Structures are given as structure tokens and as C-alpha cells.
Amino acid sequence: MTHQAAIALGQSLRVLAVAETDGAALVAADVHIGDHTDLDALRTFAKDCDVVTFDHEHVPGDHIRALAADGVNVQPSAEALRFAQDKHAMREKLTELGAPVPRWAPVASLADIEAFGTPCVLKAATGGYDGKGVWIIDTPAEAADVLASGVRLIAEEKVDLARELAAVVARSPYGQVAAWPVVETVQDGGICVEVIAPAPGLAEAKATEAQELAIRLAGELGVTGVLAVELFETRDGRLLVNELAMRPHNSGHWTIEGSRTSQFEQHLRAVLDYPLGATELAAPVVVMANVLGGEPGGMRLDERLHHLYAADPAVKVHLYGKAVRPGRKIGHVTALGADLAETRARAARAATWLRDGHGSIGS
Amino acid sequence: MTHQAAIALGQSLRVLAVAETDGAALVAADVHIGDHTDLDALRTFAKDCDVVTFDHEHVPGDHIRALAADGVNVQPSAEALRFAQDKHAMREKLTELGAPVPRWAPVASLADIEAFGTPCVLKAATGGYDGKGVWIIDTPAEAADVLASGVRLIAEEKVDLARELAAVVARSPYGQVAAWPVVETVQDGGICVEVIAPAPGLAEAKATEAQELAIRLAGELGVTGVLAVELFETRDGRLLVNELAMRPHNSGHWTIEGSRTSQFEQHLRAVLDYPLGATELAAPVVVMANVLGGEPGGMRLDERLHHLYAADPAVKVHLYGKAVRPGRKIGHVTALGADLAETRARAARAATWLRDGHGSIGS
């Protein structure tokens, strides 16, 4: 999706991919196959690039610092990216900045967890995604296995959650920041399944509070490119920062058709230090639903697309060229509309149909 | 731009390009370098393709027929494409179908031109584009040089032109057709410089007439993929067919942001025989302006973009990765808005600024 944006801007996108079958490697013209944890591969890749950026958080900070020391223009910097790579570092920094976060503490033993109190949520400081690296425990004893694994952990209070939101912004090295409307993100089993823009029923003051928080964090942390601030909205109306992502993020996929500037274009504009694009909504309601891999068998994806397009000529489909595995994000769909319930239903129907290839797709 | 659409649909686009520096060859992952007039190159290229289609009209009809005889799925067919390749064949066919065309005749001699009458417009039957291959003559004597060149010609009456319009549709092999709103195309020196959607002040009945004509022609000619019907609107209110293009066309570039389905996505959906996408406008007014190459010197294109983005965060820029030559189309810009004059001014200002890199871009 970044390549789609790069094409319009006349930019030559070079991709570092672990395998030729990676989604980005399948579509880009200039592909280096190599491991992002291999400094030599990174150095060879970065040679002659105007700017190097990321679509995940797994490049080691020391390698990024080494590239920067070589004179490579890396956006965002290792110093900023650290707060999207390490939840302990992120919680510490946000606490220092006075940003609202759940009560938390680093924990390394049963005694630490007893002291923190249960029930609570344990999170791996690094490496978690889509619900992996998160454990909800009711008693300290339930933490035995994960403690024994030696993974570095933080504990967080179980938040009395009303729903999850995301405030997505982009910031350029020059310091310009642009914010998209705050969205609601709907999770199922730790995986984001749906994003609704704008977040339904969110008071304007709350939306502004979320945007201002994201803008402030982008500046304080020195983020360049897209920053997605995942938020908990509690039942008593508070906003707490859950996670940070410093790259185009699932909570911003709706912007491809749903905003005047997509997060992919904006990320490129930001890391290239161009002035940022307009972030207005393109319709009153925009709903993105992730397409997950379904069980094997049934219609070919190609045939599923046929039926979907016949049933809904206006839904937009994005497939990532990934091999289908049950529960894996293999694409997303976006519906634009005027009515919230109808637009959500269209997006959900399309995503479910592409996953299952059976059931009802007719109107 | 077709590759951008192919990425979203999860399709692997293979490109046949004459040179590695061709715009499409710069961005696609699977590029064959070869000449589209070389049947062997075409055969090698077409091997294992689900469908072969075109972004220009210069593949010889005999080669397309040979591919089809090999079992290659070519869309559109040579039989349809002929009417976009050869103006004589096109005029003859449209006349046979009773479609409205300017008065015309094939001409091969001074006597033919005298019989047709002057002033008139001479057009090369094949190979013309952007005003090339078109000669307006006031007396038969002015035709001496072009007649001597041996180029195959037709003569057409000089139409009493109010403006030019385009009706762009897409048709699938299954026979489904979808039409975008009729647009006005503004030419300067034979080159399209601006496209306005929808065509300002066009009565609904006239717009419907143009769409129905394009839909009928798509069916009668057996077109698959995008068909752009370029039209003359005469001062006495008639619509006459000027030209046909059977591929994504400059008069449809506005659809990338300006319609729910872009012409590039629609072309792929059509040639793949998917159901077609919704063609609604995304804003009350959409204006596309071509970016022409300017005189050498001045700011780098990169710097021009900086200033443009600062002046207008909402304008969308598409650069084609082409070397800059004065007057060559090197990209386009699209502005969406509610007010016709303001939206036209924004698009024109952006295109002029990117061409010249001096003058006023501030508001």
C-alpha cells in the first residue's frame, strides 16, 4: 500500500523483505531480499536511499543508530522508535510526560505481581502483536509459566473498558503535524477486526483531547511519519494510552478511500519532509473491516470477489498477496456511506464473505 | 496507475515495456523489456497471463489475432481494438451503426480533397495523438505535403465546436457496462490540458444521450475494458463522435480520487470479467489538469512539490516518472471541491506551478 502511494508521488520505493513472497516484495520494482536484523543487509539496502523508513517495529535500535551514524536519513529515529518497540520504555516515558496511562509496573517475579495486585494484565515488553504477548491473569499463580519463560514483562491494571479508540497523526521532521479524525477500533480475540471513522458518538471535546494528546506525543517523542496512538476509553469517560505504532497502521487503513490523504501517502510525505496532506473525511461514515484467512476449502478467493462485487459494487477491496492461514490478516475492505449501521453491515458482510466463501452475500 | 489498482485487487501485473525507463517498468515487479510490434516478444510476454490488455493502441491487430489463436485471453479483441487504431475503420463503422459523426470521407488525392470541400480537417488514419496527425487546411493546396508523404488520410468537416466532452464507460466480456458522469475536456494546441467532471452546464438529457451512445458503442463494437468516447458538442447542440480509445484514458484520470471506482480498477475488473464498480462522483466538482514538461531550469520537481503541498494540502499529484520534455505529459493533478471556478483554479494553479516552477503559488 505504501508502494501505491509512492507511485503517485513519483518516488522510487526500495523494499527490504525477508522473502520474495512477502506482500511488498511481490509488487515493488526494487526489492532487496535480506533480514532486517542483519546490519550488513540493512547497510547494503540503505545505500543511496534518500530516506529509510519502516512498516514494522522489528529493526533493532542499535542497527538504526548504526545506519544513522553512517549518514543514512532514517525516519523515524531509533530514539523515537524505541517507544513503539518496548512497552516498558513507552510506559516509563508516557508516565514521565504526564500522559494518561493505565496503572502499571515492571514485574519480574511472583512477588512483583503480588505487590502489583491481581487481576491484572501482563504484557511482554517487546515482540507482541495481535493479542500475542498479552496475558490476563486472575491470580499471581497463573503467571508462573510466563515468568519462567524469562520474557521481560510489565503488569497493567485491567481497565474498565468502554471501547478502544485510535488517534492517528503524522509529523514531519520540520515539525508539521496533521491529524485524522479519531476512530473506534473493534477487537475480537486481541485482533482488530473493524475500524469506524469517525468514532461513533464521541463528543467533540473528547475527540479533540485525543488528537491533542497524539499531536503532543508525536512532538515530545520526536516521531516522524505516521503515529497511531491506540487508546482505551474507560466506562467513566477517561482516555488512556494503550499502545503506540510509528508507521502506517491498521487503524489508518480506512484513509485510503476515506480521507483526502491516505496514511500511506502521508507517511511518505512526512518522512520526505514534504508539507502534509489534508485529512478530511471523504464520506460521513467510513468503515474498514479486516479480511482474515478462513478455513481451507470452499470457493477460490477470485470467485469470492466475483460474488462480492456483484452484491456491492461500491465496496473497496485490498488484498495483500499473503498465503491464507486461518485468522491471518490477508486484506481489508472499506465501505463509505451516510448511515452508520448500514455502512458497518456492508463492511462486515464483505469481510466475512471473503473469509468464509459461503453463507449469504446477496442483498 | 494500473499497477496501483492491480496491487489492491491482489493481481500480479506483468508489464511489457520498450525500455526499462518507461513509467510502468519503473514501478512494476514483473517487467518484460521488448517491443510490442515484435510477435515473439508478445508471445513470451503473454505466456501464463490470465488476461492480456493494453495501455496504448500500437500493438498490431495481426499480432493480437495471433495471440488469440494461441489461446491467449486478449481483452479487448483485435476486432474491437481496430476501431481505436484506425480512424478510417472507426468512421466507417460508426457511420454504418448510425452513430453521429462529422461529415467525412477517405481522401488520397488533391481531387478527393477538392471533391470533399475545404476548409476541412485532414487526419492520419493511424498513429496520431495529442494533435499530431491532424492538419486543418483552408485550401486543397495546403494538403500537398501531407498527401506527398503517402500517409493514409480521411477528411472531416470543420465542426462548429462549442466544446469537447468525453463519455467514459467500461464493459466486461459478460456484457455488463458501467458509465462515469460525462466530462468536459479542454484542449490546448491539440493536447488535453483539463478535464472537468461533471461537464459544467450539460443538460441531464444530453448527458444521458452521451452515456447511452457510449454504452451502445461499447456493445456494438464488442469493447471490453474502458472505452472513452471523445465527443464534439456543436454550437447548435449536437453531439458528434470524435475519437474512441479502448484503455484507461486521459479523460478518465480524474476518477482515481474523483469516483468511487477509478478507471484503472474498472479496466482491470472489466478485462478480468469481474462485476464492475460504482461510478459515483466523490465530490460535486472534480477537476484534473495535466502537468506538462516545462522549459529546462528552475526549481527541481521535488522542490516544486514542496511549495505546492504547502499552498494546497488537498490537491492530489500523480507523477509518471517520465523524463521532462517541454510539452510532454509528465503527470497530472486532481482537485475536488464544491465550487466549479475555485476547483478549476486550484487544479490549473497546481499544474502550471509544477510545469514552470516560478510565478505565484501562494494563495
- Closest residue of A to B15, CA-based? A29
Model pLDDT for residues A8-34, shown as the tens digit of each residue: 999 999 999 999 999 999 999 999 999
> Does the annotation list B123 as a binding residue?
yes
> Is the bond into B275 cis (omega within 30 degrees of 0)?
no
Q: How confident is the model at residue B224 (pLDDT cuts 50, 70, 90)?
A: very high
Whether the Cβ atoms of residue A65 and residue A58 lie closer than 8 Å to each other: no
From the list A9, A25, A257, which residue is nearest B317 (CB)? A9
Q: How many CB pairs below 8 Å do chains A and B form together?
A: 103
Q: Flag if A27 and B7 touch (Cβ within 8 Å).
A: yes
Whether the Cβ atoms of residue A296 and residue A245 lie closer than 8 Å to each other: no
**Mutate which: A22, A260, A276, A354, vs B, most B CBs within 10 A:** A260
- Closest residue of B to A20, CA-based? B29
Q: What is the pLDDT of residue A76?
A: 98
> Does the annotation list B243 as a binding residue?
yes
Model pLDDT for residues A153-209, shown as the tens digit of each residue: 999 999 999 999 999 999 999 999 999 999 999 999 888 999 999 999 999 999 999
Give the distance, in angstroms, between the CA of residue B306 and the centroid of all CA atoms in the same chain.
29
HSE of A264 in the Cβ direction (CA atoms, 13 Å)?
A: 20
- Closest residue of B to A301, CA-based? B10
DSSP conformation class of B282? S
Helix (H) or strand (E) holding B264: helix B263-271
In angstroms, the separation between the Cα of residue A319 and the nearest Cα of chain B is: 5
Q: Which residues of A touch B12 (CB under 8 A)?
A: 26, 321
Whether the per-residue pLDDT at B363 is higher than 70: the answer is no
Q: Enumerate domains of chain B plus CATH numbers.
A: 2-74 (3.40.50.20), 103-157 (3.30.1490.20), 161-356 (3.30.470.20)
Whether the Cβ atoms of residue B251 and residue B230 lie closer than 8 Å to each other: yes
Identify the burial level of A216 via C-beta atoms within 10 angstroms of its C-beta, where 0-12 means exposed, 13-18 middle and 19 or more buried.
middle
Overall average pLDDT of the A96-120 stretch: 97
As a whole number of angstroms, the distance between CA B330 and CA A137 comes to 60
Residues belonging to the binding site of A are: 87, 123, 156-159, 164, 242-243
Mean pLDDT, chain B, rounded, equals 96
Q: What is the pLDDT of residue B117?
A: 97
Residue A107: which of A88, A133, A90, A131 has the closest Cα? A88
Q: Which residues of A touch B276 (CB under 8 A)?
A: 309, 313
Whether the per-residue pLDDT at A362 is higher than 70: the answer is no
Q: What is the pLDDT of residue A358?
A: 79
Measured between alpha carbons, how far is residue B293 from residues B128, B255, B351 in Å? 20, 23, 10
DSSP B108-172: -SHHHHHHH-SSEEEEESSS-BTTBTEEEESSGGGGHHHHHTT--EEEEE---EEEEEEEEEEE-
- Closest residue of B to A321, CA-based? B10
Residue A356: which of A290, A288, A292 has the closest Cα? A292
Give the count of beta carbons closer than 10 Å to the beta carbon of residue A121.
17
From the list B261, B269, B314, which residue is nearest A260 (CB)? B314
Residue A333: which of A319, A345, A322, A321 has the closest Cα? A319
Q: A-side interface with B, Cβ within 8 Å?
A: 1, 3-4, 6-10, 12, 25-29, 31, 178, 257, 260-261, 269, 274-278, 280, 282, 301, 305-306, 309-310, 313-314, 316-321, 331, 336
HSE of A278 in the Cβ direction (CA atoms, 13 Å)?
A: 17
In angstroms, the separation between the Cα of residue A208 and the nearest Cα of chain B is: 21
Q: How confident is the model at residue B362 (pLDDT cuts 50, 70, 90)?
A: low
